[in-house]
Amino acid sequence: MDRKQLMEEIEDILHTYCNHCLLKATFRKEKGKAYAHKFCIKQCTVGEQIRKCGEQLLKIN
């Protein structure tokens, strides 16, 4: 994949799964923004997909 395709894939993932995520909203409300962000990056399977796309972007550059 090229850079543009990877960025489109990330945007699609964010739009499909993250924009209205109930877990993210609940964690932000109950435990704060930092905790919710950390959860999304470290434990969420969607975050794992985004992280893999990011790693591929780094290889391109």
pLDDT in tens, 6-39: 999 999 999 999 999 999 999 999 999 999 999 9
Where does residue 25 fall: left (phi above 0), alpha (psi -120 to 50 degrees), or beta otherwise? alpha
- Over residues 34-51, mean pLDDT: 96
Q: What is the C-alpha radius of gyration for the chain, rounded to an integer number of angstroms? A: 13
Q: How confident is the model at residue 1 (pLDDT cuts 50, 70, 90)?
A: confident
Angle of helix 22-31 versus helix 33-42 axis, rounded to 10? 140
DSSP secondary structure letter of residue 15: I
- Report if pTM > 0.85: no
Tell whether the model's pLDDT for residue 61 goes beyond 70: no
Q: What percent of the chain has pLDDT over 90?
A: 95
Question: How many Cβ atoms are within 10 Å of 27's Cβ, its own excluded?
Answer: 19
Would you mind telling me the total number of residues written for the chain in this entry?
A: 61
